[in-house]
């Protein structure tokens, strides 16, 4: 078994189960495995050994329980990812998933009890493969300076990256979500977590959007020459809709690239849309009038308003990835997905499923009638050059399956 460069803390009050977890992680190749019988002891261990990559965390225990432990480490940076291992009911564990997210921690998975190596191993690989993991260094945890981010924007170091969207039934690539990475001349690829909050604080999100539009539409034209028609989806914040020049600038960029609005999708998270002012609604209507598609991103992650969904001119729903993560173990998630598919069909809206990471999830989603999706099971984000190389290779692989 190859050694994995991982530091893992096992938080479990049952002596035998803790021993099983520790030995299992070591057998899977984890470089360093630590253990604690309750939250207080776990905090002492962290203070003694420093940060860990993963905390395998029980929830219900004597002394400081798992919830209190999560609260304590949420803002400390001592734990990078959490794996929940608990015998609590699925609905309670799902509520804990929300707590983990609200505390700013990454939920790597929920393995329940008893532990199984075949369930734990993919989660360790998922952590190691995560782009965020690659970028976790002392130099990149802190936010970049405003001066550095402004310079990066001017010098075009902020580059569009692309994550494909798929037709689950045919395997066809039907579009891409346009993301952003900072290609630093010294530090390499830097995560959006380091610079995106700075762009927001400095009011530079529009400028970034316009730069990304130019980059993505140029790539879209190259892809079209190679026989690939890709819809380009851009993330848009609700606050940006208040800019009276937003839609006219987008229209001018489309004209410059001789591209119809129908080739673009703008994704907005549902939070902030519930009380959107008239100026924001006007921007949404104008984008639709230009032919652009509008998608509600991370649907179900906030406080969804079905009334607002009917009132706003959206034609796509992107269901939050959290529903897929617990699909195999949580009947309620299957019910939510089925209901959202039915809602989308009734409202004439397409439904995209986010966060597909395994073959099992894909098959269950197909059985539920899902058509569109994206996630690491299909493809990770990549730069434009890699995307153009990947598309024909993907086509050839699909042809071999037919």
Enzyme catalytic residues: 354
Q: Is 393 helix (H, G, I), strand (E, B) or coil?
A: helix
The contacts of residue 131 (CB under 8 Å, 6+ apart) are 189, 191, 380, 381
Integer Cα distance of 206 and 153 in angstroms: 12
Q: CB–CB of 10/21 below 8 Å?
A: yes
Integer Cα distance of 393 and 172 in angstroms: 12
Integer Cα distance of 35 and 33 in angstroms: 7
Token pair in block for residue 123: 């989660």
Integer Cα distance of 20 and 33 in angstroms: 12
Token pair in block for residue 373: 């999706």
Question: To 10 degrees, what angle do helices 205-225 and 146-154 make?
Answer: 30
The contacts of residue 77 (CB under 8 Å, 6+ apart) are 51, 141
Integer Cα distance of 254 and 263 in angstroms: 10
Q: CB–CB of 318/299 below 8 Å?
A: yes
Integer Cα distance of 306 and 296 in angstroms: 12
């Amino acid at each position: 078994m190859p050694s994995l460069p991982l530091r893992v803390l096992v938080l479990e009050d049952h002596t035998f189960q803790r021993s099983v977890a520790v030995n299992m992680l070591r057998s899977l190749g984890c470089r360093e495995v630590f253990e604690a019988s309750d939250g207080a002891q776990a905090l002492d261990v962290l203070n003694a050994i420093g940060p860990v990559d993963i905390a395998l965390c029980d929830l219900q225990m004597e002394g400081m329980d798992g919830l209190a432990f999560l609260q304590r480490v949420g803002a400390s940076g001592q734990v990078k990812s959490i794996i929940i291992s608990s015998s609590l009911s699925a609905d309670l564990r799902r509520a804990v998933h929300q707590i983990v997210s609200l505390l700013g921690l990454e939920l790597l998975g929920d393995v329940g009890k008893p532990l199984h190596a075949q369930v734990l191993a993919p989660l360790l690989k998922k952590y190691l493969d995560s782009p965020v993991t690659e970028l976790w260094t002392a130099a990149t945890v802190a936010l970049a300076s405003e001066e550095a981010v402004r310079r990066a924007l001017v010098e075009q170091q902020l580059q569009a990256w692309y994550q494909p969207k798929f037709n689950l039934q045919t395997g066809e690539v039907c579009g891409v979500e346009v993301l952003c990475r900072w290609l630093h001349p010294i530090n390499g690829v830097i995560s959006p977590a380091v610079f995106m909050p700075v762009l927001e604080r400095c009011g530079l999100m529009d400028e970034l959007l316009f730069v990304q539009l130019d980059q993505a539409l140029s790539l879209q034209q190259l892809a079209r020459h190679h026989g690939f028609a890709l819809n380009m989806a851009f993330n848009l914040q609700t606050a940006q809709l208040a800019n009276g020049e937003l839609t006219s600038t987008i229209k001018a960029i489309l004209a410059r690239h001789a591209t119809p609005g129908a080739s673009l999708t703008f994704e907005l998270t549902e939070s902030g849309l519930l009380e959107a002012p008239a100026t924001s609604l006007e921007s949404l209507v104008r984008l639709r009038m230009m032919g652009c598609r509008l998608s509600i991103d991370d649907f179900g992650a906030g406080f969804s308003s079905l009334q607002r969904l009917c009132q706003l001119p959206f034609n796509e729903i992107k269901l939050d990835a959290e529903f897929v993560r617990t699909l195999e173990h949580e009947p309620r998630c299957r019910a939510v997905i089925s209901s959202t598919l039915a809602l989308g069909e009734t409202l004439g809206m397409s439904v995209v499923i986010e966060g597909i990471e395994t073959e099992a999830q894909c098959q269950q989603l197909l059985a539920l009638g899902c058509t569109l999706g994206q996630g690491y099971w299909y493809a990770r984000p990549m730069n434009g050059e890699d995307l153009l190389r990947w598309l024909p290779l993907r086509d050839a692989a699909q042809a071999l399956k037919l």
